[in-house]
A = this chain, B = another copy of it.
Amino acid sequence: DFMRALDEVHPLFGANDEDLERSFEDGIIKFSPYIDKILKNGRECVNQVRSGETPLLTVLLHGPEESGKTALVAKIATDSEYPFIRMIKPVDLNGMNEIEKIRHLTKIFTDAYKSPLSIIVLDNIELFVDWVPLGPRFSSAVLGAIKGLLRNKGPKGRPLLIFATTTERSALAQMQLRFDYEIPVPNVQTQQELGNIMQESGEFGPEDIQRALGEIHETTQRQEIGVGVARVLRAIKTAKQDPDRVGRFAELISESVAYSPS
């Protein structure tokens, strides 16, 4: 029967249990007060669903690339200590056709309906429907299925909290994919915030930080940084390969600033 048909779809990577933890293996640096606010907001949703009054709550974390959406949602989910937590990434659906994708997603939801308290994370939800702005193109079959799942209450007494992340908030709106609550995740915006990350990384002394910020400002002539925290952390790792760690870091960040929309 249908349930058995569901079992026949085996994803390639989905069984990987360490996914959630690896999502924030570089830690959560509180480079701005807003980070704590996001975590608190997430905690409130976790508590509200745990209270049992709300059978279904859907929450979207949206923000620019590499701003830390996945790390933050993984942290919130891990901290919830719910008995059922599943993060699904687009690559987990690789090699499935549309119907198989839908059945695989549906299967995960029916698994969740069996747990007394569940979190499902749909990471980069726009890619589940193969969204491409060119056209635009997307799979309306998978989209329709996800809409159905996002509104479907499980059996009584089986509350479910659904998180999704995206860089394409307006695409979701155009596709009429709606959420009960939305939480924006910002880039590293100010020189001060960038300095905080440099310091937390333990790779730079106070003078290094001053020099780097100075050079970045000189090169870019901009006040705003506008770069994702993940990109900053990668730049630190790349700069470590260079004898002039500080100069190289400033160079890499300046390039990223130049590319970001002012």
Chain A positions near chain B (C-beta within 8 angstroms): 1-3, 5-6, 10-13, 16, 18, 22, 44, 47-48, 51, 53-54, 65, 89-97, 99, 102-103, 106, 110, 127, 130, 132-134, 136-141, 143-145, 147-149, 151-153, 155-156, 174-176, 178, 180, 234, 237-238, 240-241
Judge whether B51 and A106 touch: CB under 8 Å: no
Q: How far is the CB of A170 from chain B (nearest CB, A)?
A: 11
- Using known A-B contacts A132-B175, A176-B132, determine if residue A89 contacts B148 with beta carbons closer than 8 Å: yes
Query: Which of chain B's residues have a CB closer than 8 A to the CB of A3?
Result: 12
How many copies of the shown chain assemble into the complex?
6
Q: Is the CB of A130 within 8 A of B140?
A: yes
Closest to A102 in B: B95
Q: Which of B54, B132, B145, B234 contacts A237 (CB 8 A)?
A: B54
Known contacts A6-B95, A91-B148, A106-B12, A175 near B127 by CB under 8 Å:
no
A94, A147, A178 — which one has the most chain B CB atoms within 10 A of its CB?
Answer: A94
A23: nearest chain-B partner, CB-CB: B153
Which one, B13, B144, B174, B241, contacts A47 given CB within 8 A? B241
Query: Whole-angstrom distance from the CB of A95 to the nearest CB of chain B?
Result: 5
From B16, B22, B156, B176, give the contact of A22 (CB < 8 A): B156
| Residues from chain B with Cβ under 8 Å of A54 in the complex | 234, 237
Query: Does A143 contact B156, Cβ atoms closer than 8 Å?
Result: no
Q: Which residues from B are CB-within-8-Å of A143?
A: 130, 132
Chain B contacts for A156, CB-based, 8 A: 18, 22
Closest 9 CB pairs of A and B: A91-B148, A130-B144, A2-B10, A95-B103, A91-B152, A90-B148, A130-B140, A137-B140, A94-B145
